Amino acid sequence: MSDAGQGVAASPRDPVREKVRELVPGIERLSLTYGAMDDFNSETDSDYTSYWRDWFISSRGNEYFCEIDEEYLTDRFNLTGLNTEVQYYQYALDLVTDVFDFDCDDDMREQIEKSARHLYGLVHARYIVTTRGLAKMLEKFKKSDFGKCPRVMCDSQPLLPMGQSDMANSSPVKLYCARCEDLYNPKSSRHAIIDGAYFGTSFHNILFQVYPIMLPPKTQRRYEPRVFGFKVHSAAALARWQADEREKLKDRLRGARIESGFEEDEAEAEEEDDDEEMEGDGFEGATVQQ
């Protein structure tokens, strides 16, 4: 979404501004129009546009979230159990669905605001494993909205957000790479504080079950530590052991007539393994295997 520098502090009234900004590039120069938009943007006008949710997902730091359908949010069944998880549940829900009209002081408003964000996150975890939610997250995945795998051999594989727990407040969101099947920390500190439970432990795996076509080919290419051209023996020995494990896996899959999913051309590439190697703790034992 447009994260072009709108602070989190921006009020929920801003989404219209942002919408307009999106629809009409250069609108800011047209101060008249802009002023007019501001007038239009009063809190009572909330019947059709999803002000709060628009504001939320376009706020800086919330780039990982997709927009939850009104329909989904208003079906009580989807919210089962959340009333005990979220303070001021009803107010928070009203705020999220833009029907909030409770007159309260700023402190209270802030509390409710916080609850609304928490509620949105918890519903989000459920929504993104629905058909609609998966499709929305898939689009974001295709645009690399969640970033790319930092591992060099993964060739900028797009990532997916995930939680290491489904319980709130246990650990922040992590990123899953389907190419190396490993977990990474978000680069930005504004993402590193998002609760992992807002994405959950299952979503990223479900996405690839539902859209197996999105599974990237696995790569066997790997980094080989070297010193002055020699492979480092300890690392090379470990890599060979791991390659054995990989071949065992491939045998098991072959036995079960299942595709391994590895890139083709690599099988023979790694046979040329007889470079000289160098032992770790000094050069006296530059051991040559075989």
Partner 1 sequence: MSSSSQVTESWISSFCGLLGHEYFAEVSEDFIEDDFNLTGLQSQVPMYKEALEMILDVEPEDDDDEEEEEEEDEEDDEILGDERPTAYRRASDRRHLRIASDLSVIESSAELLYGLIHQRYITSRPGIQQMAEKYELQHFGTCPRVHCNSTKVLPVGLKDSPGHETVKLFCPSCLDVYTPPNSRFQTVDGAFFGTTFPSLFFMTFTDLDIGSGIRNNPSSTAQALLQIQTETTKGTSTTPANVTSINGVAPHNLAPGIGAGNIYGPRIYGFRVSERAKSGPRMKWLRMKPADVTELDETRRYWENPPDDADRPHDDDLNMVDVAEGKSVDSRKKISARRKRTNGSGNGGGSPMDTNGVGAAG
Site residues, partner 1 (CB under 8 A): 150-153, 163-165, 170-172, 174, 176, 179-185, 187, 196, 201-202, 205-206, 208-209, 212, 215, 218, 222-223, 225-229, 232-235, 237-243, 245-246, 249, 252-253, 256, 258-262, 279-285, 287, 289
Nearer Cβ to partner 1, position 35 or 285?
285
Nearer Cβ to partner 1, position 51 or 203?
203
Nearer Cβ to partner 1, position 61 or 150?
150
Q: Give the DSSP H or E segment for 165.
A: none
Q: What is the DSSP string of 266-286?
A: GTTGGG-----EE-TT-STT-
Question: Could you give the CA distance from residue 94 to residue 112 in angstroms, rounded to a whole number?
Answer: 10
By CB under 5 A, is residue 149 in contact with Zn ion? yes
Task: Provide the residue type at 254 as one letter.
Answer: R
Q: Which residues contact 17 (CB under 8 A, 6 or more apart)?
A: 34, 37, 38, 41
Q: What is the DSSP string of 82-149?
A: GGGTSTTHHHHHHHHTT-------HHHHHHHHHHHHHHHHHHHHHHTTSHHHHHHHHHHHHTTTT-B-
By CB under 5 A, is residue 222 in contact with Zn ion? no
Task: Provide the residue type at 45 as one letter.
Answer: D
Nearer Cβ to partner 1, position 29 or 257?
257
Nearer Cβ to Zn ion, position 201 or 219?
219
Question: Could you give the CA distance from residue 85 to residue 111 in angstroms, rounded to a whole number?
Answer: 14
Strand duo 174-177 + 230-232: pairing = unpaired
Q: How many residues bind Zn ion (CB under 5 A)?
A: 6
Nearer Cβ to Zn ion, position 93 or 154?
154
238 interacts with, out of partner 1, Zn ion, none, CB within 5 to 8 A per kind: partner 1
Of 154, 160, 162, 173, which lies in the binding site for Zn ion, with binding defined by CB under 5 A?
A: 154
By CB under 5 A, is residue 178 in contact with Zn ion? no
174 interacts with, out of Zn ion, partner 1, none, CB within 5 to 8 A per kind: partner 1
259 interacts with, out of Zn ion, partner 1, none, CB within 5 to 8 A per kind: partner 1
Task: Provide the residue type at 201 as one letter.
Answer: T
| Min separation Cβ 179 and Zn ion, Å | 4
Give contact residues for Zn ion (rule: CB under 5 A): 149, 151, 154, 177, 179-180
